[in-house]
């Protein structure tokens, strides 16, 4: 049952409940985190009465009113508020006292007089305040099935006997609470509409901003603007609204909902209907509609529909001002506030082409949007203060905004308005929390306002930390560096911005784990030092100490100590007298096309074109120029092409890079296996292939004559372990030096060879080469000139400096070195070289897989296709266990399915060639090639010489022996053509990647936060991101369609083989159009169908998600589900005691019991701790012809509080501690039930679990 069904049922059964709705945009073309009113308007027609709060205080008051109204009217109510503007915002609020609540609401079990005549009939003269409809003392049945006649009687009876009384009860309750609190409460708020010519009508948090803008326009622009705030949407106060809008010139109705196929959005429809009833009263000269005024045609204002803030789009005061000034000039349709459809030009040529094309195809779009280019005026009252806190992760600055706002209000009172940051890009721009304080009444000034003080929790990593900072504003930087080093560490662009804005710079040194408390102290220290807060230090310290009175003594003393330390440690930084050498951070501006764009540039301008996305979107995000973006057809789809996450450059978010020492490398592969971001490129390459690559990349063909001798010399030098080489250039130079004089070449040709060698060394000379036992020495001992070099290269655009590779490297071949611009550029150059080197040979991978020092998983990842099955550049945390698990899973799938698809492609090519031969033979046999006499006569009959069409000859020689089976030939041609298209789709396709090996469906949760976040797509397979929690149903439907596409190809190959082997049977089969389904396929054919992998977190195994999942497990379709467990042990914030619904937390699923209950599904519990068990489990799951569930432990450094380089160690500890044991359940194994469960892979399975010291050592965070 959907939530909408529940609302309607509650109304039908007269349940006096109150629902609180935090407005959030529904997922449409994409998911969204910001506010929107679509769900609100859907709920409004459920039968609930609906109130809409514009402030936190109003939300509190309306909640009390709604409770009283629901209890008296027996109609449930809904109190709505905008998400980030109200529900998630910090504001000043006066909570009602328990006495006031008791007086206003009474007790739920007290007897009250029946409020209406209908209730007197139902209950008698009195009733319980909250009726017990389900009462053992008065047994009745609820919700019985009714026929049409009886159901309709009950439905229409609600209007006169219940709904009719609602308005009076609501008015009475609003007036009663208002009299008790002294705060005005009404269904409609009226701000300066009496003499207004322009009236702005709105709901929610925007009402305050509109009132602030109206005041500004009256004072500065002499425009008579008023505001009408709608605080009750059901029942709609039509009569009162009509009275306020009578004789107005223009009425603009603003709403956060767009209904593209409706004449008007919901609020506009209601406002028009209100005026329509008043017009009807005047036209008929009678009070047809009681309470409505009589309005003549000339008294009806001009209406304008304005859509704003969809998806959380900021509401800017400057746009509202431009709206009021241009309402009469704008076109007749809706106005989309804050958007610019008709931007004249762009600095990016490809984007300019798009704008020109749209302008030609849609000449009227200029009137749709309105976005002001003027600076936003300061609408804050005198003495107001705005603080912005820039964050990069949940570990830095989370909650600091609310804590600072609450403490400031506690100190000096006043008014508070705030905005929490919602959309987070932890590796580039982060997010900004903001609050505004004012000593006098403060109306929300909107989303674009001057910032007085900005707190930078990670100043070196933020790309736009000065956005919105006023000239002469204050910057507080959190850094452990000294003043000179800190100033030098900032990017040149940031230093230039600080200087141009004449910002006052402060710095505070902080260290974990109490850095946030120290930063809070530094924030208030900065306010005191700059005079923005006129208080004594002692009062601030005393106030903070008072705020900690609920904490234990030890914790209170520690918190106060850190706050005081921050207060005293913060100090100004005089950057004007400091030198500014070149920064260690690379330049932000970079429009060079990434590797993916260079390699996948064959799909034109279609929606899935990666080059098109780079030119129109990717380069804008990379360069911080997103203001260039405008609405276009591509944005309307919300589609992201594959591998767009490779557009991002994360080098600015790091302070170190891993450095590789090839002389100590053992080739174990743990570093590239553990890297979650695919940022380590590995390749095993023979000396001959290395030299050939250098020749190919530099066109140094003169070196080819010496290439084989040079390769032999490299093998010879390499066999001596006493000689160490770090790079390919050193190695090749030494090899050529010993070889040069022995070359049997003339002097001129030797010079040419030397020059060619220099070109090759210049191109590949910096490539690090390692000679390891596994790949080089053992092979050379077995047979000379068979050894291979191992090379590792770091991708500086994708590396997040998590340290997992360094921790995994036992010999210390990888180390952390400070990042500098030359080092980044050199590393980037090496990565581009690695991209152009040949892939690791298959035989080398097989050999490494069987080698005890490497193993199967590192060996698989030597294949470039598997290494890059999941790209880097996304928003996953550093050291993410989730991403590491997904990357390994996709790599295993690629490795397993690649040979199957290659064999399928070869079969198609072979059969297609046979069909082509059959077509040629059919046409050849139709000509009388054996009858020379008839052929000669035919040629003689042709009157002209020279070039002659074949048709002229066939006309002369056709006869009975020249007949062909046209129907069969037509089938052969059609089938051959279809096989050619299928071959192209599987092997190449539009992107050059061929058909995807699998597809993904991603469930809501932490996973979708990085794997499904615009504009970064790290996948190269089809991905459907679910935002509503029905992932299981979505995945089932997607798989059905995917299998249909795959079986069409298999059916085509079957038909082709029939044409070759049994033409008559093929003719009959061609007339049968019934498609194949999964059960019609052989096991071999089933293996050719790409699987679908459902990805989700633990939430998938609870509630509605679990029921859908079990349905899939009970079916026969080959859907694979990977659930990533973080082992929160019910300690997450959602389950902390005291939080709502804490006691109703979902129970953990016992996988062994799940395996026994779903006896036909493959179920495995595996971990990153054992990559071999992980690999074997994944391979078996994908080989299994039915559904499979893979449960993987994926630790999270940020959520679980350990260092980012410890993710794999944490996973190992969980397995060793038996918190997360490894096991498999394969329904195809011998035996029954529990005997099919295997615990293979667990360490020391026979050991008893009695050593307490051992338990403690494994179950504590390092």
Answer for the pair 618, 644: CB distance below 8 angstroms, yes or no: yes
Residue 843 has what pLDDT?
94
Residue 935 has what pLDDT?
65
- Residue range 1001-1058+1077-1258 forms a domain whose CATH class is alpha beta
Q: Token pair of 1090, please?
A: 């790409």
**Least-confidence region, from 917-931, 1002-1016, 1244-1258:** 1244-1258
Q: What angle do CA 1092, 1177, 1220 make, to 5 degrees?
A: 110
pLDDT surpasses 50 at 1028: yes
**Least-confidence region, from 106-120, 818-832, 1151-1165:** 1151-1165
pLDDT surpasses 60 at 1252: no
- Determine the average pLDDT of the residues in 661-668: 94
Q: Strand 225-230 and strand 198-202: pairing? A: parallel
Q: Would you tell me the crossing angle of helices 1207-1216 and 881-926 to the nearest 10 degrees?
A: 100
- Determine the average pLDDT of the residues in 958-975: 75
- Determine the average pLDDT of the residues in 807-834: 93
3-state secondary structure 811-878: CCCEEEEECCHHHHHHHHHHHHHHHHCCCCCHHHHHHHHHCCCCCHHHHHCCCHHHHCCECCCCCCCC
Residue 588 pLDDT grade (very low, low, confident, very high; cuts 50, 70, 90): very low
Q: Token pair of 34, please?
A: 């910001």
Question: Is this model's pTM higher than 0.85 or not?
Answer: yes
Residue 12 pLDDT grade (very low, low, confident, very high; cuts 50, 70, 90): very high
3-state secondary structure 230-255: ECEEECCCHHHHHHHHCCCCEEEEEE
Q: Do domains 188-338 and 1001-1058+1077-1258 have the same CATH topology?
A: yes
pLDDT surpasses 50 at 1132: no
**Least-confidence region, from 285-289, 387-391, 498-502, 932-936:** 932-936
Task: State which CATH number among 3.40.50.1980, 3.40.1160.10, 3.40.50.720, 3.40.50.920 fits the domain covering 188-338.
Answer: 3.40.50.920
**If we measure between CA atoms, which residue out of 1169, 1182, 1165 comes closest to residue 1223?**
1165
Domain ranges for the chain: 3-136+150-181, 188-338, 385-577, 655-873, 1001-1058+1077-1258
SS3 1165: strand
Residue 423 has what pLDDT?
62
pLDDT surpasses 70 at 1131: no
How many Å is the maximal CA-CA distance in the chain? Answer: 121
**If we measure between CA atoms, which residue out of 641, 646, 757 comes closest to residue 691?**
757
Residue 1022 pLDDT grade (very low, low, confident, very high; cuts 50, 70, 90): very high
Is the four-CA dihedral 262, 264, 270, 274 of positive or negative sign?
negative
Answer for the pair 669, 859: CB distance below 8 angstroms, yes or no: yes
**pLDDT (tens digit, 9 = 90+) per residue, 304-319?**
999 999 988 899 999 9
Residue 892 pLDDT grade (very low, low, confident, very high; cuts 50, 70, 90): very high
**Least-confidence region, from 81-85, 87-91, 993-997, 1171-1175:** 993-997
Kindly report the number of other CB atoms within 10 A of residue 1054's CB atom.
17
pLDDT surpasses 70 at 66: yes
Domain spanning 385-577 has what CATH number? 3.40.920.10
pLDDT surpasses 60 at 565: yes
- Determine the average pLDDT of the residues in 478-483: 85
Residue 1141 has what pLDDT?
37
- Determine the average pLDDT of the residues in 1129-1137: 42
Residue 266 has what pLDDT?
96
Residue 1138 has what pLDDT?
36
Residue 1133 pLDDT grade (very low, low, confident, very high; cuts 50, 70, 90): very low
**Residue 655 CB contacts under 8 Å (≥ 6 apart), including other chains:** 460, 584, 801, 818, 819
Q: Tell me, rounded to whole angstroms, the distance of Cα 19 from its chain centroid.
A: 29
**If we measure between CA atoms, which residue out of 264, 295, 291 comes closest to residue 278?**
295
**pLDDT (tens digit, 9 = 90+) per residue, 1151-1195?**
667 766 778 899 999 999 999 999 999 999 999 989 999 999 999
pLDDT surpasses 70 at 1255: no
Q: Token pair of 60, please?
A: 């509190």
> Where are the alpha helices (H) located in 927-964, listed in sequence order?
932-941, 950-957
Integer-rounded Cα radius of gyration of the chain:
36
Q: Token pair of 532, please?
A: 């923005």
- Determine the average pLDDT of the residues in 551-574: 92
Residue 98 has what pLDDT?
95
pLDDT surpasses 90 at 764: yes
**pLDDT (tens digit, 9 = 90+) per residue, 210-269?**
999 999 999 999 999 999 999 999 999 999 999 999 999 999 999 999 888 889 999 999
Residue 339 has what pLDDT?
92
Question: Residue 1224: in which H helix or E strand, if any?
Answer: strand 1223-1225
**If we measure between CA atoms, which residue out of 1262, 1254, 1225, 1224 comes closest to residue 1242?**
1224
Domain spanning 3-136+150-181 has what CATH number? 3.40.50.970
Residue 1103 pLDDT grade (very low, low, confident, very high; cuts 50, 70, 90): low
pLDDT surpasses 70 at 124: yes
Distance CA 888, CA 876 (A): 15
Residue bearing the bigger pLDDT, 1080 or 1255: 1080
Tokens 């009602």 found at: 96
Residue 557 pLDDT grade (very low, low, confident, very high; cuts 50, 70, 90): very high
Question: Residue 744: in which H helix or E strand, if any?
Answer: none
Residue 1137 has what pLDDT?
34
Answer for the pair 885, 1095: CB distance below 8 angstroms, yes or no: no
Residue 479 has what pLDDT?
86
Classify 338 in phi/psi space as left (phi over 0), alpha (psi -120 to 50) or beta.
Answer: left
**Least-confidence region, from 195-204, 600-609, 655-664:** 600-609
Distance CA 876, CA 881 (A): 9
Residue bearing the bigger pLDDT, 509 or 764: 764
Kindly report the number of other CB atoms within 10 A of residue 473's CB atom.
21
SS3 10: helix
**Least-confidence region, from 88-102, 230-244, 470-484:** 470-484
Distance CA 207, CA 837 (A): 61
**Residue 1115 CB contacts under 8 Å (≥ 6 apart), including other chains:** 1036, 1186, 1187
pLDDT surpasses 80 at 89: yes
936 burial via Cβ count (<10 Å: 0-12, 13-18, 19+): exposed
């Amino acid at each position: 049952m959907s939530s909408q069904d529940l609302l309607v049922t509650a109304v039908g059964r007269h349940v006096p409940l109150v629902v609180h709705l935090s407005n959030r945009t529904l997922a449409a073309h994409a998911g969204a985190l910001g506010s929107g009113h679509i769900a609100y308007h859907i709920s409004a027609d459920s039968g609930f009465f609906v109130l809409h709060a514009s402030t936190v205080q109003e939300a509190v008051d309306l909640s009390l009113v709604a409770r009283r109204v629901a209890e008296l009217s027996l109609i449930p109510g809904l109190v709505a508020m905008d998400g980030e503007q109200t529900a998630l915002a910090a504001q000043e609020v006066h909570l009602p006292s328990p006495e006031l609540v008791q007086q206003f609401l009474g007790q739920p079990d007290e007897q009250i007089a029946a409020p209406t005549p209908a209730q007197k009939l139902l209950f008698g003269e009195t009733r319980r305040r909250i009726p017990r409809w389900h009462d053992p003392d008065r047994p009745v049945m609820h919700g019985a099935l009714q026929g049409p006649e009886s159901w309709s009687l009950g439905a229409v009876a609600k209007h006169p006997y219940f709904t009719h009384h609602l308005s009076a009860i609501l008015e009475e309750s609003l007036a009663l609470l208002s009299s008790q609190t002294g705060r005005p409460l009404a269904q409609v708020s009226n701000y300066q509409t009496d003499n207004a010519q322009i009236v702005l009508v709105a709901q929610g948090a925007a009402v305050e901003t509109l009132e602030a803008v109206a005041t500004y326009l009256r004072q500065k622009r002499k425009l008579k603007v008023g505001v009408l705030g709608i605080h009750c949407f059901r029942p709609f106060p039509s009569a009162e609204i009509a009275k306020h809008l009578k004789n107005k010139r223009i009425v603009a109705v603003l709403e956060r909902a767009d209904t593209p196929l409706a004449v008007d959005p919901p609020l506009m429809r209601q406002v028009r209907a209100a005026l329509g009833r008043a017009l009807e009263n005047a036209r008929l000269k009678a009070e047809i509609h009681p309470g409505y005024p009589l309005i003549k045609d000339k008294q009806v204002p001009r209406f304008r529909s304005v859509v704003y803030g969809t998806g959380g789009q900021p509401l800017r005061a400057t746009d509202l001002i431009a709206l009021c000034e241009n309402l009469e000039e704008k076109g007749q349709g809706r106005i989309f506030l804050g958007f610019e459809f008709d931007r004249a030009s762009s600095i990016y040529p490809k984007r300019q082409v798009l704008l020109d094309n749209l302008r030609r195809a849609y000449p009227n779009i200029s009137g749709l949007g309105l976005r002001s280019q003027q600076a936003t005026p300061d609408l804050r009252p005198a003495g107001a203060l705005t603080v912005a806190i820039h964050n990069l992760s949940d570990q830095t600055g989370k909650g600091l905004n609310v804590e600072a706002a609450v403490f400031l209000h506690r100190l000096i009172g006043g008014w508070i308005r705030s905005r929490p940051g919602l959309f987070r890009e932890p590796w580039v721009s982060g997010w900004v929390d903001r609050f505004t304080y004012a000593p006098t009444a403060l109306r929300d000034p909107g989303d674009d306002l001057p910032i007085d003080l900005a707190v930078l929790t990670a100043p070196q990593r933020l790309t736009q930390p000065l956005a919105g900072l006023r000239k002469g504003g204050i910057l507080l930087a959190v850094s452990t560096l000294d003043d000179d080093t800190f100033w030098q560490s900032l990017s040149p662009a940031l230093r230039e911005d600080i200087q141009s804005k004449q910002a006052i710079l402060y710095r505070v040194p902080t260290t974990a784990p109490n850095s946030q408390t120290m930063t809070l102290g530094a924030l208030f220290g900065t306010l005191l030092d700059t005079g923005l807060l006129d208080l004594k230090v002692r009062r601030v310290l005393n106030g903070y100490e008072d705020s900690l009175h609920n904490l234990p003594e030890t914790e209170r003393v520690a918190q106060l100590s850190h706050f005081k330390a921050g207060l005293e440690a913060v100090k100004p930084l005089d950057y004007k007298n400091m030198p500014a050498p070149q920064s260690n951070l690379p330049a932000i501006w970079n429009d060079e096309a990434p590797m993916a764009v260079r390699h996948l540039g064959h799909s034109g301008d279609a929606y899935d074109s990666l080059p098109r996305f780079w030119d129109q979107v990717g380069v804008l995000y990379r360069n911080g120029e997103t203001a260039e973006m405008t609405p276009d057809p591509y944005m309307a789809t919300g589609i992201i092409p594959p591998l767009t996450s490779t557009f991002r450059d994360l080098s600015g978010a790091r302070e170190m890079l891993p450095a590789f020492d090839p002389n100590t490398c053992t080739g174990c592969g743990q570093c590239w296996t553990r890297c979650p971001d695919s940022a380590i490129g590995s390749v095993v390459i023979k000396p001959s292939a290395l030299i050939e690559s250098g020749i190919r990349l530099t066109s140094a063909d003169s070196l080819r004559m010496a290439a084989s001798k040079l390769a032999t010399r490299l093998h010879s030098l390499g066999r001596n372990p006493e000689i160490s080489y770090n790079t390919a250039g050193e190695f090749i130079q030494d090899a050529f030096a010993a070889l040069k004089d022995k070359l049997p070449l003339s002097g001129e040709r030797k010079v040419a060879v030397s020059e060619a060698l220099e070109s090759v060394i210049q191109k590949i000379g910096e490539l690090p080469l390692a000679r390891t036992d596994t790949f080089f020495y053992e092979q050379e001992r077995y047979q000379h000139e068979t050894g291979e070099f191992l090379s590792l290269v770091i991708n500086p655009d994708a590396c997040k400096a998590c340290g997992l590779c360094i921790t995994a490297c036992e010999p210390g071949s990888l180390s952390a070195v400070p990042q500098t611009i030359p080092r980044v550029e050199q590393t980037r150059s090496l990565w581009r070289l690695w991209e152009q080197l040949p892939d690791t040979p298959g035989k080398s991978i097989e050999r490494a897989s069987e080698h005890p020092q490497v193993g199967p998983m590192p060996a698989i990842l030597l294949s470039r296709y598997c290494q890059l099955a999941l790209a880097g550049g996304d928003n996953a945390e550093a050291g993410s266990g989730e991403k590491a698990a997904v990357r390994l899973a996709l790599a295993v799938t690629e490795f397993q399915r690649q040979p199957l698809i290659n064999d399928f492609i070869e079969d198609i090519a072979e059969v297609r060639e046979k069909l082509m031969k059959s077509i040629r033979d059919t046409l050849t046999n139709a000509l009388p090639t054996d009858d020379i006499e008839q052929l000669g006569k035919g040629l003689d009959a042709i009157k002209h010489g020279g070039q002659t069409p074949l048709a002229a000859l066939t006309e002369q020689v056709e006869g009975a022996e020249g007949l062909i089976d046209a129907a069969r030939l037509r089938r052969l041609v059609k089938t051959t053509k279809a096989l050619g298209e299928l071959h192209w789709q599987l092997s190449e396709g539009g992107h050059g990647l061929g058909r995807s090996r699998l597809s993904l469906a991603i469930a809501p949760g932490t996973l979708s936060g990085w794997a499904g976040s615009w504009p970064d797509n790290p996948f190269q397979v089809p991905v459907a991101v679910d935002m509503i929690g029905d992932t299981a149903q979505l995945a089932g439907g997607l798989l059905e369609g995917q299998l249909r596409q795959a079986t069409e190809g298999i059916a085509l190959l079957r038909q082709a083989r029939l044409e070759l082997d049994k033409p008559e049977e093929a003719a009959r089969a061609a007339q049968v159009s019934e498609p194949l389904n999964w059960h019609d396929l052989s096991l071999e054919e089933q293996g050719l169908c790409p699987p679908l992998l459902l990805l989700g977190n633990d939430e998938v195994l609870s509630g509605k998600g679990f029921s859908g999942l079990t349905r899939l497990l009970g079916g026969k379709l080959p859907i694979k589900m990977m659930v990533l467990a973080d082992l929160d042990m019910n300690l997450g914030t959602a389950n902390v005691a005291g939080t709502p619904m804490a006691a109703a937390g979902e129970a953990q699923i016992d996988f062994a019991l799940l395996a026994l209950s779903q006896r036909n599904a493959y179920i495995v519990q595996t971990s990153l701790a054992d990559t071999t068990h992980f690999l074997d489990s994944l391979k078996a799951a994908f080989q299994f012809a039915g559904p499979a569930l893979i449960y993987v432990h994926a630790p999270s450094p940020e959520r679980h509080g350990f260092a980012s380089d410890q993710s794999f160690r944490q996973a190992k500890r969980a397995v060793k501690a038996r918190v997360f044991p490894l096991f498999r359940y394969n329904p195809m194994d011998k035996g029954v039930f529990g005997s099919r469960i295997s615990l293979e892979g667990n360490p020391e399975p026979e050991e008893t679990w009695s050593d307490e010291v051992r338990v403690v050592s494994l179950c504590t965070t390092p």
